[in-house]
Structure formats: C-alpha cells, structure tokens
C-alpha cells in the first residue's frame, strides 16, 4: 500500500470552450399558476424558435464532434476534465481540423456560429490537501464501481465505464507505479469484460447467469489498485513537489 497518491506533475485542467451561438431562441410562457392550500402549482410552456433547422443541426454536429474528442483525451473528475500536458498537445492537434471545419461553417452560415477550442490551465501545483484527497477518492471509487459492475455481470455498464469518457483515461491522473497499477487494472477489466461477454453468449449447452459468471472472474489487478489507493479512513493525494 502506498503512503500517498502522487498526481501527475503536468496535470492540466481542460476547459471546454466548444459551443453553438445563435440561430435558436427559447421563450417560456406561463399557462397555469395557482395556490392549493399551502402548496403552489405552476405550469409553463417553452417555445423554441430555430431560424434555420439544417444550419443549426450542422453547427451542433460540429460542436458535438469537438466535445467527443475532448472527452476522449481527458479524464472527468469532480473539478473538471484533466489530462497531462502531452495529451493536451495531442488533443489540440486533433481539434485542428474540427476548428477549420467550424471556421468554414461560420463563413457561410447566416444565423448560427460554432466555437471550437479549449482553455488549458496547469493545476497540479495549485491543488490543496482537500482537493487532492477528493481526487484520490475519485480514483478509488471509480475502480470499486468497475469491480462491482464486473462482479454483477453488468456488461453494458462496465463497457460504458471503460470508455474514454468514463474512466478509460483515469491512469493519467497519477505517475510511476501508481499509474501503472491503474493501467494494469483497466487492462484486466477489458480482458475480463471480453471473457464475461464470451461466457454469457456461450454455446447454449450450459445455462449460467451473468451474475454467477461475474462472481468467478479473476479481478486481482483491480483489487490491487483499489488497495493501493485506500488509506484507512483518510485517502490522500498530494502534488509533486508539495
């Protein structure tokens, strides 16, 4: 068991600046507002006006494409999306063609405009003890959730959790042996997920529930990683150099 989790020294907060502006307007009208005893009941109707449906849908597709790339390169945490600096550089390169696509769209659009970009903020040295401890909790709880989904035979839940927009990049939060521990846990989870899917599908000869199959999976690396980030009643994480 490690004494502390050392966060990646080049951890960067990635602020998503992708959005669609204009071409759509929403208004709300009150339909009913009455008092019943001590309670009050209200009913409202929202009216959405889109100037050019096809143009707006194109704008939203471009924005969604950019947001998908951002999710693929970052790890979602309670303080926002995080990634090491080298991954942020890769992210910015992959966003380049989408930014060009947005610029071309903006040049011909009449009502809507697309913004594509990120705001990278280095944060590792700025984390205080409370925030660092919360990130350690995030790592441990995420791995526990992954373990429990596999044990329960929850194929779709485990598969979704392992995607980049789930916890697929969570090893980026740490360095050294701790990052390796998380990475090995994720690799094991993917292997066990394939094993679970194969056995659930089966050959029709033996009827076995996903739950019973899940209970028999070897999740040694996941359990080991959970143990590494469990510090009695006080999980802790600190930044390099703190």
Q: What integer pLDDT is reported at residue 203 of this predicted model? A: 57
Q: What integer pLDDT is reported at residue 135 of this predicted model? A: 79
| Region 103-109 average pLDDT | 96
Our CA angle for 133, 139, 145, nearest 5°, is 130
DSSP 42-89: EEEEEEEEES-HHHHHHHHHHHHHHHHHHHHHSEEETTEEEEEHHHHH
- Listed in sequence order, the residues at least 6 apart from 58 whose beta carbon sits closer than 8 Å to its beta carbon are 105, 112
Cα–Cα dist 161/167, whole Å: 6
- Listed in sequence order, the residues at least 6 apart from 119 whose beta carbon sits closer than 8 Å to its beta carbon are 14, 15, 17
Any idea which of 8-17, 27-36, 172-181 has the lowest mean pLDDT? Answer: 27-36
Is residue 236 packed enough to be buried (19+ CB in 10 Å), middle (13-18) or exposed (0-12)? middle
**Alpha carbon 21 to chain centroid, angstroms:** 24
Q: Give the pTM.
A: 0.70
Instruction: Give CA separation, 194 vs 117, 146, 186, 190, in Å.
Output: 36, 14, 13, 6
Ranked by mean pLDDT, which of 9-13, 127-131, 233-237 comes out on top? 9-13
pLDDT for residue 241 is more than 90: no
- Listed in sequence order, the residues at least 6 apart from 48 whose beta carbon sits closer than 8 Å to its beta carbon are 24, 25, 26
The total number of structural domains that make up the chain: 1
Q: What integer pLDDT is reported at residue 3 of this predicted model? A: 40
CA atoms within 13 A on the CB side of 203: 1
The pairing of beta strand 11-16 with beta strand 80-84: antiparallel
Q: What is the domain extent for residue 129? A: 5-239
Q: What integer pLDDT is reported at residue 96 of this predicted model? A: 96
| Region 186-213 average pLDDT | 81
Question: What is the tens place of the pLDDT at every residue in 54-98?
Answer: 999 999 999 999 999 999 999 888 778 989 888 999 999 999 999
- Cβ–Cβ contacts within 10 Å for residue 131, how many? 17
| Region 179-194 average pLDDT | 92
Instruction: Give CA separation, 55 vs 21, 23, 96, 214, in Å.
Output: 12, 8, 21, 47
């Amino acid at each position: 068991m490690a004494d502390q989790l050392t966060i990646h020294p080049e951890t960067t907060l990635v602020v998503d600046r992708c959005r669609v502006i204009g071409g759509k307007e929403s208004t709300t009208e009150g339909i009913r507002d009455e008092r019943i005893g001590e309670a009050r009941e209200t009913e409202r109707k929202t009216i959405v006006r889109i100037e050019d449906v096809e143009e707006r849908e194109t704008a939203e597709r471009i924005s969604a494409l950019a947001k998908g790339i951002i999710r693929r390169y970052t790890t979602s945490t309670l303080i926002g999306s995080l990634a090491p600096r080298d991954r942020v550089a890769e992210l910015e390169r992959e966003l380049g063609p989408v930014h060009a696509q947005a610029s071309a769209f903006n040049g011909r659009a009449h009502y809507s405009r697309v913004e594509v970009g990120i705001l990278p903020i280095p944060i590792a040295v700025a984390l205080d003890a409370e925030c660092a401890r919360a990130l350690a909790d995030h790592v441990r709880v995420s791995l526990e959730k992954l373990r429990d989904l596999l044990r329960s035979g929850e194929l779709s839940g485990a598969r979704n959790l392992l995607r980049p927009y789930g916890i697929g990049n969570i090893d980026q939060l740490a360095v050294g042996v701790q990052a390796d521990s998380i990475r090995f846990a994720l690799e094991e989870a993917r292997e066990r997920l394939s094993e679970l899917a194969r056995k659930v599908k089966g050959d029709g000869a033996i009827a076995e529930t996903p739950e019973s199959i899940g209970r028999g999976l070897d999740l040694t690396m996941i359990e080991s990683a959970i143990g590494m980030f469990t510090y009695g009643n006080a999980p802790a994480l600190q930044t390099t150099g703190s």
